[in-house]
Amino acid sequence: MTKGCFITVEGGEGAGKTSALDAIEEMLRENGRSVVRTREPGGIPIAEQIRSIILDVDHTRMDPRTEALLYAAARRQHLVEKVLPALEAGHVVLCDRFIDSSLAYQGYARGIGFEDILAINEFAIEGRYPDLTLLFRVDPDVGLSRIHRDQSREQNRLDQEALTFHQKVKEGYERIVETYPERVVEIDANQSFDQVVADAVRMIKQRLSL
């Protein structure tokens, strides 16, 4: 058993994960926890390179299964090189996206299917599921209008998908909540930022007994 705690944050585009993660990280540090903050795809040089290949707006010819395999490859390297050592050292690992993104985006929205995506990802993670997953739920039209207003945010290949794709992502996440009710908790990200953060902090405090 590893000693740390592995928390992932999930959700569609414009759910406000990044700003909420800043506030969650601060709360954990104030409570005396040492935190390793990271993201997927990326978090280490090899995985950041894979990220730029996947999300390059010019890579419109990328096959959906190639995309799925690249996400799983980035995940594997990031897990082995960064997440597992941090957990072993007793840190709280706060990760922006993990396996559920692949299940929702590639498995459901791209239509490859949950089972196939689960199979390649179980190969990648070897059973190391998060201890807790916060799912930020936002209406896709609200989320997309937030990211289009945000000039500082990099636009990527998946942002450019149509609204129907993002609606399917939302449905994919709904299926994930049904499949993993002990691990995944939902947060209503249509609320004000302060309320979203308050809900997220309450969930984490319950789980970590802070």
Known binding-site residue numbers for ATP: 11-18
Q: Which of 7, 24, 40, 176 binds ligand TMP (CB under 6 A)?
A: 40
Q: Which of 8, 38, 77, 102 binds ligand TMP (CB under 6 A)?
A: 102
User: In the complex with ligand TMP, which residue's Cβ is closer, 33 or 106?
Assistant: 106
- Token look-up 């005396």 returns 32
Q: Which token pair is 207?
A: 């789980």
Stretch that binds ligand TMP, among 82-90, 100-108, 183-191, 195-203 (CB under 6 A): 100-108
Minimal distance, residue 73 CB to ligand TMP, in Å: 11
State yes or no: residue 41 binds ligand TMP (CB under 6 A).
yes
Q: How many CA atoms lie within 13 A of 141 on its CB side?
A: 0
Greatest CA span in the chain, whole angstroms? Answer: 47
Q: Which of 97, 137, 168, 170 binds ligand TMP (CB under 6 A)?
A: 97
Distance of alpha carbon 189 from alpha carbon 206, whole angstroms: 19
Q: Which of 105, 108, 136, 173 binds ligand TMP (CB under 6 A)?
A: 105
Q: Which of 8, 77, 101, 133 binds ligand TMP (CB under 6 A)?
A: 101
7: nearest Cα among 115, 114, 86 = 86
Distances (CA, A) of 76 to 95, 98, 120, 128, 192: 14, 10, 10, 11, 35
Terminal alpha carbon distance of the chain: 20
Stretch that binds ligand TMP, among 27-35, 84-92, 95-103, 173-181 (CB under 6 A): 95-103
